[in-house]
Structure 1
Amino acid sequence: MCIPGQVASRAALVIRNYSTNHSFFLELSDYFLVTKQSTFPFPFGTKGSEDILSQVLAVANNTNIPHEIQRLACRHCVVVGSGYRMKNSSLGDIIDKYDIVIRLNDAPVHKYEEDVGSKTTLRFFYPESAFFDQVLDSNPDTLLVLVPFKNLDIQWLKKVLNNETRVNKGFWMRTPLIWKVKSENIRILNPYFMEFAATKLLQYVVRKGKINTKPTTGFMAISFAIHFCDMVHIAGFGYPRFDDTQPIHYYDNRSMAILRRSSHKFPAEAIAIRRLLQQNIIQNLTYF
């Protein structure tokens, strides 16, 4: 049973400086008559990106929470991870019953509905992971939430929204050159949730707005959910230990071996997620 305020009340007891008094998405009004500028650049702030953000938000200027979500007496959410343990899980029908279904990056829905469901309320992504099928893997009203790791991510969004010439220089892998979405479905995540995930949940040390290791998109979605939702369940998170042959995702054959080249600290995130589970702030639909 979903209890209003349940996650917030539990999180406030155990997470230092936890607060729900933050906007979820960046808004155009944030950049008019600014009296308090951001301290850091992306990913922990917007310093130095104000002008281009104003241009992007002038196009994607619908930053409201959809009415269907606002009217909910209690927000019952599930964050669907991309992990291999979703394969043959048969969780599709269960996932589709949640009020809010949050998906990650380019994880497909089409042809995997039996295991991962078909409903998508929000999809968290960054430019290099924006290769999901916008028709088959989303619903017409799905919110596409950009998680900005760098100023270049905002520049990419500006170019695709304005149909300007795209370039892939500066990205760690290629980005979509054709990306046609409804501008009213676009949101830009408030960098507060990146800072919260890194410093409060993962306990990383940020020096002068910089950090060597950044949270994954999945962990960012959990950070967001424990502020946005009244009840949070997760599925498809966690990796098997010491098995480089194990597939990472439910939808492809890439193995655990490639994680050794990743800049993310997966063991640290696993510890943080396990802590949230033990504190009963979130609950798990799959094993962890």
Structure 2
Amino acid sequence: MKCRVWQFRTEQIVQYLYFNSLVSLSLSRSILAWFFRLLPVVLFFICYYCSQFYFESYGGSGKSPEPTVSVCHNFRLQRKWGSLKLNMSRKTELFLKLEDFFWREHLSAEALPYGIKGSELLLLKVLAVISSYTMPANIESSLDCRTCAVIGNGFSIKNTSLGEIINKYDVVIRVNDAPVRGYEEDVGNKTTLRLFYPESASFNPNIHNDPDTLLVLVPFKQQDLRWLKEILYNEKRVRKGFWKPPPQIWLGRTSQIRILDPYFLRLTASKLLQIPLQPHRQQKPIHPTTGILAIFVALNYCDVVHVAGFGYPESRNQKQPIHYYGKETMKSMKNSYHDLSQEGQVLKRLEDQGAILYLHPHS
């Protein structure tokens, strides 16, 4: 009897162990199956975070930074301006004022575009009509920290979906006639300052600017000031002296108009780009682009400078588009008065020094 009971219990134990082994084997197979199913997802996230680290370290920010006060604090601690070693102090008054002529002698050794020598009378007439010479009060006096986004016209900003982030900056600077409507998702729709010259002026600035956008004329030559004077005084337009016909009727309001101090173009050329202000007669004159000028203006005026839409394709790729709008290619830059290679090197140096930060990956 005892042997039968022992035999019965032995058979139960064997059946139990066999059943458990089957269950364990089934669970192991299920776990392995789930592991192989999840492996591609795990690898994807590993690659994604590695790419984020790469972009943040070497190619611009993988995730667009938010313009916060903490960013301003870090900027001040690191003293970005001092790291540029330009042997000059920051200048936060951006525009020419009438008092520069009436209340003190305005010394200028250079003519336009690097000084006002020979253009004083034209400037007097223009500044007498413009009602204000300063930034809006909500930006000038109420901000302890100014965060600025300088938006270039380059093809690199296309399909970046940066519009919402760009609109959060205190100051958004754009250049020339770059459109906003229809491109809001990538470039935003906020514009604080728009730097332009007559040939790059839009007939109706109200289409692609805010109602309170400041329209900042960058005078490269006397004809540029004369163009504005003729519009302000409703005089007969002179069409000579422009490489491209500027608008004969311009709908910019006088309360919006400012004249950029040539100081900034002079220092952009001489200090930032190391361009001779008076080249030899046989040399082709070289001037800074409006884009790099806008960045230098921002470095003077702002505590934090983030940029997007800068950089040109390699010159050998003549069919590559250069703007996020239109159909112009590198071929159109062949005879320009700009040294694009030099500007690219300077932008790289500013980025390496931490003076500017790109909002998107770039080459």
TM bin (shorter chain): over 0.9
Partner of 1:108: 179
Q: Percent identity between the aligned chains?
A: 47
Conserved in 2, the CA contact under 8 Å of 1:105 and 1:126?
A: yes
Matched, 1:40 2:110: yes
Select the residue among 137, 155, 160 that pairs with 2:208.
Answer: 137
Listed one character per residue, the Cα deviations across residues 244-275 of structure 1 (whole Å, up to 9, x for unaligned) are: 11111111011111111211111110001111
Conserved in 1, the CA contact under 8 Å of 2:279 and 2:285?
A: no
Correspondence 1:17-56 to 2 at 5 A: 17-21=87-91, 23-56=93-126
Partner of 1:3: 72
Partner of 2:267: 196
Task: Please give the root-mean-square deviation of Cα atoms over the aligned residues, in Å.
Answer: 1.9
Shift of 1:80: 0.3
Structure 1 residues 164 and 21, CA, compared in 2 at 3 Å: closer, same or farther? Answer: same
Select the residue among 156, 163, 166 that pairs with 1:85.
Answer: 156
Shift of 1:8: 9.6
Matched, 1:179 2:250: yes
Matched, 1:230 2:230: no
Select the residue among 259, 281, 286 that pairs with 2:355.
Answer: 281
Structure 1 residues 131 and 7, CA, compared in 2 at 3 Å: closer, same or farther? Answer: farther
User: How far apart in 2 are the matches of 1:272 and 1:166?
Assistant: 38
Counterpart residue identity of residue 165, structure 2? I
User: How far apart in 1 are the matches of 2:330 and 2:320?
Assistant: 6
Structure ranking higher in helix proportion: 2
Shift of 1:285: 1.1
User: How far apart in 2 are the matches of 1:6 and 1:104?
Assistant: 27
Matched, 1:247 2:321: yes
Shift of 1:34: 3.5
Structure 1 residues 208 and 247, CA, compared in 2 at 3 Å: closer, same or farther? Answer: closer
Shift of 1:33: 4.2
User: How far apart in 1 are the matches of 2:83 and 2:305?
Assistant: 17
TM-score (normalised: structure 2): 0.76
Partner of 1:72: 143
Q: Which has the larger radius of gyration?
A: 2
Partner of 2:219: 148
SS across alignment from 2:81: helix
Partner of 1:125: 196
SS across alignment from 2:174: strand
Counterpart residue identity of residue 297, structure 2? F
Conserved in 1, the CA contact under 8 Å of 2:265 and 2:288?
A: yes
Which stretch shifts more, 4-13 or 48-57?
4-13
Where does structure 2 lack aligned partners over 5 or more consecutive residues? 1-69
SS across alignment from 1:152: helix
Structure 1 residues 209 and 3, CA, compared in 2 at 3 Å: closer, same or farther? Answer: farther
User: How far apart in 2 are the matches of 1:219 and 1:132?
Assistant: 24
Shift of 1:16: 2.3
Conserved in 2, the CA contact under 8 Å of 1:148 and 1:154?
A: yes
Which stretch shifts more, 201-210 or 23-32?
201-210
Where does structure 1 lack aligned partners over 5 or more consecutive residues? none
User: How many residues end up aligned between the 2 structures?
Assistant: 288
Partner of 2:285: 212
Partner of 1:265: 339
User: How far apart in 2 are the matches of 1:158 and 1:2?
Assistant: 42
Higher relative contact order (CA 8 A, sep 6+): 1
Conserved in 1, the CA contact under 8 Å of 2:159 and 2:186?
A: yes
Structure 1 residues 157 and 219, CA, compared in 2 at 3 Å: closer, same or farther? Answer: same
TM-score (normalised: structure 1): 0.95
User: How far apart in 2 are the matches of 1:223 and 1:8?
Assistant: 18
SS across alignment from 2:71: coil
Counterpart residue identity of residue 121, structure 1? T
Structure 1 residues 22 and 194, CA, compared in 2 at 3 Å: closer, same or farther? Answer: same
Which stretch shifts more, 200-209 or 180-189?
200-209
User: How far apart in 2 are the matches of 1:82 and 1:39?
Assistant: 33
Structure 1 residues 83 and 132, CA, compared in 2 at 3 Å: closer, same or farther? Answer: farther
